[in-house]
Structure 1
Amino acid sequence: MSTLLLEIVTPERKVYAEQVDMVVVNGVEGQLGILPNHIPMVTPLKIAPVKVKKGNTEEVIAVGGGFVEVRKDKVVILAESAELPANIDIERARAAKERAEQRLTGKHKDVDLRRAELSLQRAINRINILNK
Structure 2
Amino acid sequence: MATIHVDIVSAEASIFSGEAKFVALPGEMGELGIYPRHTPLITRIKPGAVRVERADTGEEEFVFVAGGILEVQPDRVTVLADTAIRGRDLDEAKAEAAKKIAEEAMKNAKSDIDFAKAQGEFAAMAAQIAALRKFRKK
1:119 alignment partner AA: E
TM-aligned CA deviation for residue 57 of structure 1: 2.9
Q: Which residue of 1 aligns with 2:69?
A: 67
Aligned residues: 131
Q: Which residue of 2 aligns with 1:54?
A: 54
Moved more, 43-52 or 56-65: 56-65
5+ long unaligned stretches in structure 2:
none
**What is the DSSP-based 3-state SS (H/G/I as helix, E as strand, rest coil) of the residue aligned with 1:21?**
strand
Is the 8 Å Cα contact of residues 49 and 60 (structure 1) preserved in structure 2? Answer: yes
Is the 8 Å Cα contact of residues 60 and 129 (structure 1) preserved in structure 2? Answer: no
Is the 8 Å Cα contact of residues 4 and 77 (structure 2) preserved in structure 1? Answer: yes
Q: Which residue of 2 aligns with 1:82?
A: 84
How does the TM-score come out when normalised to structure 2?
0.86
**What is the DSSP-based 3-state SS (H/G/I as helix, E as strand, rest coil) of the residue aligned with 2:36?**
coil
- The 5 Å alignment of 1:21-36 reads 21-36=21-36
Q: Deviations over 1:19-44 (max 9, x none)?
A: 11111121112221110011111111
Are 2:121 and 1:119 aligned? yes
TM-aligned CA deviation for residue 105 of structure 1: 2.3
Identity of aligned residues (%): 33
TM-aligned CA deviation for residue 91 of structure 1: 2.1
